Amino acid sequence: MKLLVTVKRVIDYNVQIRVKADGSGVEKDNVKMSMNPPDENAVEEALRIKEAGKADEIIILTIGNDKAQETIRTALAMGADRGIHIKTENDLEPLAISKIISKVAEEEKPSIILMGKQAIDDDCNQTGQMTSALLNWPQATFASKIEIEGQNAIVTREIDEGLERIKVSIPFVASCDLRLNEPRYASLPNIMKAKKKPIDTKDASSLGINIEPRIEQIKVEEPPVRQKGIMVNDVAELVQKLKHEAKVI
C-alpha cells in the first residue's frame, strides 16, 4: 500500500504575523518558516501505518517555490521515502491545490491521502474535502484515530458534539487533527539520510490543469486594537449601562 502525504510550508506558529506596509499580504521575507503543524501529524500517522506493516511507501507532496523543498526534507528526515515538489511562485487557492493533489494521485495511485485538517496561515479547511470530491473517494476529516482493517479503515473524528466513528473504504482521503498523535523529532542520522532521498520536481504549468485564482485579494489589514473595558461599581450600574449604552436589555 502506498501513502501520499501533503505538507505545506507556512510561517512558524511562534512568529508574530506582520502585515506588509502596502497591505498586499503578510510579511514573509526573513521570517522563520516551518511545516504546517497538522501536516506533521499526517506525516507521523503515515510513518506509524508503515511501521505497523500496513504500507510499503510514503510519498511527500508539497506545492510552492524552491524553498518549499525544505518542508519535504523535514518529512523525509522523519522517515518518509521520497518527495514530489510541484513548483509555482504563486499563492494557490484550495481548489487549485486540490486539483494538483488529484492529478498527482492519479499518477501515483496511493491507497490513502493524508493531510492536515487545515493550514494555520489561511485556515481554509477545504483542501481535503475538495480532493475527495475530485477523486470521488470517501473522506474522513478531522481524524483523531485511524485504524486500518483490510480494505477499510475505522476513523474516529473530532466533531462539535464529541467523537464520531466512521468506516471508509480504501482508497480514501483523511485530514488529520492535532490530537491524532505526537509527531516525532528527526534524528541527526535521519537528517543526513534525507539529503540523499529523491525529490521529483515538476512545474505546475506542466500538469495541464487550470489553477488560475478565482478570488481577488484586495487588501490585508491587521485587526483593530481592542478597546479598554469599562469598570462598574455594582450590578445596578452594569444593568444601566447594558440598558442605555449597549442597548442589549
pLDDT digits (tens, 9 = 90+) for 177-211: 999 999 998 889 899 999 999 999 999 989 999 99
The helix/strand/coil state of 112 is: strand
Per-residue confidence at 83, pLDDT binned at 50, 70, 90?
very high
Q: Give the mean pLDDT of the chain.
A: 91
Q: What CATH number is attached to the domain comprising 168? A: 3.40.50.620
Average pLDDT over residues 111-127: 92
**Is 240 part of a structural domain of the chain?**
no
pTM, two decimal places: 0.84
Helices (H), 144-212: 188-194
Count of domains in the chain? 1
Q: Is 226 within a domain?
A: no
Domain boundaries, position 112: 2-221
Cell numbers describing residue 228: 479598554
**Percent with pLDDT over 70 in the chain:** 99
Q: Which helix (H) or strand (E) covers residue 151, if one does?
A: none
